[in-house]
Amino acid sequence: MQLRDLLDQDRMLITAWSTSPSVEIAGGLARCPFDTVTVDMQHGAHTESTAFASVRAITVAGKPAILRIPVGRTDLASRALDMGFEAVIAPMINSVADAAEFARAMKYPPLGERSWGPMKALQIHTDHTPESYFRAANQQTLAFAMIETRAAFADLDGILATDGIDGIFVGPSDLSISWSNGAGVDPNNEELQDVIAEIGARARKAGKFAAIFAVDPAAVPRFAKMGYRLAALNTDPGILHAGAEVMLGKARG
Ligand code: 3PY
Ligand code: MG
């Protein structure tokens, strides 16, 4: 397990975002120069079987695997860790109660109520014995609570203070919908930048990791200045499209 160690280096990490339900594509993303790959089961088309098979494909490429679960699926959060994912991103964590429920599923006692059974994780993280896995897990596997509504922002300090929550992950699209009271969706809205900066600063002050989804790659250096240390770079179709544009541009002169 290494995501925690990479984050402790205090530099901006960039994660690929795998939405296509394909182990080959997830493994292919891991072989690109990303720091890590996130498998998306909220809006991505991954099923449990493609997501769980992707862990090995990502890990053999030497990268840590992260899973985003669908809303409220804390059962899947524990299961993701059992399959060898090193972190879970939970969407729509809108209250301290939501954060506490997520943390309970992610951490072994006494911090939480995660149930024992990381047999698949141990096949992937072969540097661990069951005992060493148990001792390391609460610290090494990471719970990211998505902050993407006004309600979550209002409860931010409580969410950040929740034991077992290791970091927050800003969803700028949903945040823009909530911030505008449903008037529209605009993840790059300039008016949101102060809010995003404040979330990053408060997370750092609380000693928690700050992560964010970057629709626009050019925003990543700005997020790094705000204290964010993990950014998702668009999605696999977006990367395919951008790559095709560059290659076709060269081919057509
Ligand atoms: C959002 O921007 O709302 C997200 O959830 C990013 O995936
Ligand atoms: Mg969202």
Q: How far, in Å, from the CA of 91 to the mean position of ligand 1?
A: 8
Q: Quick: pLDDT tens for 75-94.
A: 999 999 999 999 999 999 99
Q: How far, in Å, from the CA of 250 to the mean position of ligand 1?
A: 32
Q: Quick: pLDDT tens for 232-251.
A: 998 999 999 999 999 999 99
Residue 142: which pLDDT band, with cuts at 50, 70 and 90?
very high
DSSP string of 193-248?
Answer: HHHHHHHHHHHHHTT-EEEEEESSGGGHHHHHHTT--EEEES-HHHHHHHHHHHHH
Q: Quick: pLDDT tens for 105-126.
A: 999 999 999 999 999 999 999 9
**Is the pLDDT score of 1 beyond 80?**
no
Residue 77's pLDDT is 98
Ordered structural domains, the chain, with CATH: 3-251 (3.20.20.60)
What residues does 213 pair with on adjacent strands?
232
Nearest residue by C-alpha to atom 4 in ligand 1:
171
Q: How far, in Å, from the CA of 252 to the mean position of ligand 1?
A: 35
